[in-house]
Amino acid sequence: MGRVKKPHFFFKIAAKSGVGEKLKAFMAKCAQVDEQARKWVEKQGASSYYESPDGMAGGVVMVLFDANTLSKDGWQKVQVPGKEGMEYLKDDDGRCFWIPTEGSDIEKEMQALPLVSEAELIGILQFKPKEVKKDVPVPFTFGNETPALFLHHGYWYTDVPYESMSEDCQAIEEKEFLRRRMAAINER
């Protein structure tokens, strides 16, 4: 399955603007649910986890325990079809991925972990509807990718698949976006 080709609109938003303040609150919410997920995974005794693909932040889809873990109450190893039947799904270090046993309390806890949806960005960034079919606007979607969003030197930068109607969102070229992203990564 290949990547879905989507349009790119790059924006620079002042952190002190109305949209900038909403982005700050959104990212704080993302950090909060990420921390909740991390603490839950830690409580389970897992060393790391994979976030749910259903949102911008939060949620847990599967975990990794110590490499010496052969079994764990309430958990089962993830199996996938292989060349010789079913095989355990493993990371590059040979550790198995684990999911809660179906119907268990652990599964219910995991599914109850909060998620922050990237759909919240639609209202924050005030996306401009793309087209109308039979007088009905086409629904917004991010496809199979989470939008890039980061803060650098007093400005939020983002790459989204829609134009913005907000005056706070200043359109920039891809080259500037990529330079700012690289600078933000290098300054960490």
Which pLDDT score is estimated for 68?
84
Which pLDDT score is estimated for 145?
81
Whether residue 3 is predicted with pLDDT greater than 70 in this model: the reply is: no
Residues 172 and 84 in one domain: no
Residue position matching structure tokens 């030197």: 153
Q: What's the number of domains the chain is made of?
A: 2
Residues 18 and 67 in one domain: no
Residues 108 and 169 in one domain: no
| Of 16-20, 22-26, 48-52, 162-166, minimum mean pLDDT range | 48-52
Most confident of 50-59, 64-73, 107-116: 107-116
Distance between CA atoms of residues 17 and 27, nearest Å: 15
User: Residue 80 belongs to what domain range?
Assistant: 61-112
Residues in the chain: 188
Which pLDDT score is estimated for 21?
98
Residue position matching structure tokens 């109607």: 165
What band does 1 get if pLDDT is binned at 50, 70 and 90? very low
Quote the DSSP letter at residue 43: H
Whether residue 33 is predicted with pLDDT greater than 70 in this model: the reply is: yes
Which pLDDT score is estimated for 188?
81
Residues 120 and 108 in one domain: no
- Copy the structure tokens of residue 167: 């005056």
Distance between CA atoms of residues 173 and 85, nearest Å: 49
Task: Answer yes or no: are the C-beta atoms of 72 and 62 closer than 8 Å.
Answer: no
pLDDT per residue as tens digits for the range 91-145? 888 889 999 999 999 999 999 999 999 999 999 999 998 777 777 777 888 877 8
Residues 17 and 72 in one domain: no
Task: Answer yes or no: are the C-beta atoms of 160 and 122 closer than 8 Å.
Answer: no
Give the residue with greater pLDDT, 29 vs 146: 29
Residue 56 domain flag: no
Calculate what percentage of the chain has a pLDDT beyond 90: 70
Residues 35 and 82 in one domain: no
Whether residue 186 is predicted with pLDDT greater than 90 in this model: the reply is: yes
Residue 76 domain flag: yes
pLDDT per residue as tens digits for the range 133-154? 777 777 888 877 889 999 999 9
Residue 182 domain flag: yes
Residues 71 and 102 in one domain: yes
Task: Answer yes or no: are the C-beta atoms of 98 and 63 closer than 8 Å.
Answer: yes
Residues 68 and 108 in one domain: yes
Residue 68 domain flag: yes
